[in-house]
Structure 1
Amino acid sequence: MWMIPEQNQSWVSEFILLGFSSHPTTNSILFTVFLLIYLSSVMGNGLIIMLICMDTQLHTPMYFFLCILAMLDLCYVTTTMPQMLVHLLAKSQTISFASCWLQMYVFGALAATECILFVVMAYDRYVAICYPLHYTVILNWGLCLWLAAGQLATGTCVCGFLSALLHTFFTMSLPYCGPNKVNHYFCEGPAVRSLACMDTHLIEMVDQILISLMSLTPISLIVASYVHIVMAILKIKSTQGRCKAFSTCASHLTVVTLFYVPASYMYMRPKSSYSPERDKQISLFYNAFTALLNPVVYSLRNKDIKGAFLKVIGHGKVDC
């Protein structure tokens, strides 16, 4: 049975993040690769934010939520990547207990907030497809601001605060009295918890219940939205109309899949399938690569984003 350790328990004051390699040459190569990924993520999401803010044609609910997603991705990737880049070049790869605690919490809170945002974006697509003539009336700016300030704040303060705080508290309150080498590139719950000096089975069960609720509830709402969307699209008589309707949802479905599939595997799989090396690669995908790919996914087939970008590079300004 799990309990808070006694005060005389020997505590670890810092952790050592092993990262991906201990070979200097390999680390130099990885530093270059990850630096390019991080800078591309920052520039890509920064460009999306800039274009949406500058071009009045992009001042619609869909792009408003896309702008928030880009800001979240910037914060999300910055939580882990800069530290990893420093550790790839520095001789010391240590992180204090308090910094590890904070990183784990912020990472979890941002992930919870992004889950809530995906639901809001699914609702946006639901209204656009199912009630196209009333889209601007239903999703007026007052509702958009309420969804952003109210629902996303709820996602951070309630979902993020409670679930991420409980997840972090349960993990960091375990007794760490021996090894302090975390086989990961940042303080992620399962990797840190594996160093605890006690059986963590009960904690893992509670953690899985919390994470399942936090992931399955948004997924269920997104699936429900798309069931109605598909039914509405199938009623469209023209093939061209169906294709156009499906294409407006393709980007959202892609980014949701890129985020949820690896994250769900990481946090909802049984302990018996734990593999440090594989888990580092999976977490890198939903942490770094999603922030890199989301701007690409939303820009490749989006004429409005392309048009705004061409205005910037072609005329030096956009109409405001």
Structure 2
Amino acid sequence: MKQHNTFTLKDFIIRAGIAYFITLIIFCIFIFRVIPGCSLLQSKLVLFLLTVLSFGLIYFEKDDRRNYLSIATNVLIPFGIYTTLAYILLLPIPLGIVWTLLIGLDLVYIGFYFYKVKRRNYNSLLEKSQLVIGLASLLSLVIVLSFTLFGSSLIQSSTKITNNTDAYIRKYDDKSLKNLNNWSKLKRKEKLNTLQTICNNERDYLGISARIKVGAGSKLTHPYAQYNNKSKEITFDVSQLDHASSTTLLEALLHSTYHAYEYALVESYDSMSSDYNKLVDYRTIVTYKREFSTKVTNKAKNYNQINESNAEAYAAEALQDYQNKLKK
């Protein structure tokens, strides 16, 4: 940080408060999630305490570092540390690399500093360590934000997404059926792989040409899973993936896959000749198109839409087929 004041103490506190408030809004919209093992209240308390601690470090430094870089560092640190705590189980490799590498380099620098320098400036060491933690915090936020903005899933299955094949009856995979019967014993990745395999089979049965990915994430608009037609992806809530039953998640998968089918119907309707798209059998597709183009925030109205009721009916029927197969 520059060794000169840019602001008075009053200006510094006001600007830091404004920066924190703006960052908090962005953080809550795109990144915030409950820390694993904690309640919502406990998670908010952790974020609050990290913020107090970060801003408290100001008073252990000299008074000549009130500038924009100081503000950025003190704002980034609590959000970055909280993000790491909340997402480390979902993104262990990228977050682990960032923090291990930067903290490791900082410790090497500190060791070299104590070995070489006789007249030590501890304020300077504290300042540089803050910058390192601030940089690690920034990179952590960028990593998580890149997933939450450009891809709804934080983790994905490793099962191959097969090409569409003609299937006029529903296919059943023996390994998947066995996994459904032993759901509580499966690891998170095994559950996603099973759901991806079933999704592949449902996609073949419904005749969907798009390659649909299955993954898991957080902060979904639906309680168990949701379908994103832009990314062609079905995303399960991570906590539900860990704790919900195979029946609940299978029904959510079948429901979401049917939404993919409805979107495919709309796309085929849009490419159809106007000589045919007014036929009575296509009117349901017109309803789908209208519903998909209208954002509904009221959950009750959303579940009363035709696309939702049809997806629910399909999921219930398909789930019964799977349950009958599981009993054999």
TM range (shorter): under 0.3
- The structure that is helix-richer by fraction is 1
What TM-score results when the alignment is normalised by the length of structure 1? 0.28
TM-score, structure 2 as length reference: 0.27
Computing the radius of gyration over CA atoms, which structure comes out larger, 1 or 2?
2
Q: Comparing both chains, which one has the higher relative contact order based on Cα–Cα distances under 8 Å and sequence gaps of 6 or more?
A: 1
